[in-house]
Amino acid sequence: MNKDIFSSFLDACVTGNLETVKTMASNHSVLNAIEKGGVSPLHKACEGGHFNVVKYLLQNEHYILDPNILAQAATIARERGFDQIRSYITLYYIKYCRKSAC
């Protein structure tokens, strides 16, 4: 995957640019890519407090659930004071990961 495309996708996630996220997500590989440091698009959306982007990423049919990424994202949201996002991710984890052994 092109690093510039992934970097632009991460920027769209952290700034909450949902239209750009949707457009770029048509390249499904960006949805599940992770930086060398372990940072994912979901983490970036949580950092920025963008509930609409978090929801879009998690509900995208091509997004692969990773319990570790979900847990880290919930922690980021909690640390930044985004309780709605933390709650959503936690409920999403309970609903989909615990039942299906993600």
54: exposed, middle or buried (C-beta count within 10 Å: 0-12, 13-18, 19+)?
buried
Full domain range(s) for residue 34? 3-100
**Which one, of 62, 98, 100, lies nearest residue 41 by Cα?**
62
CATH for 90:
1.25.40.20
Distance in Å from the first CA to the final CA of the chain: 25
CA distance 20 to 30: 12
How long, in residues, is the chain? 102
95 close to 58: Cβ distance less than 8 angstroms: no
Q: What is the pTM of this model?
A: 0.91
Q: What pLDDT, on the 0 to 100 scale, is given for residue 99?
A: 59
Number of domains in the chain: 1
Please identify every stretch of the chain with a pLDDT value under 70, giving residue numbers as ranges: 1, 98-102
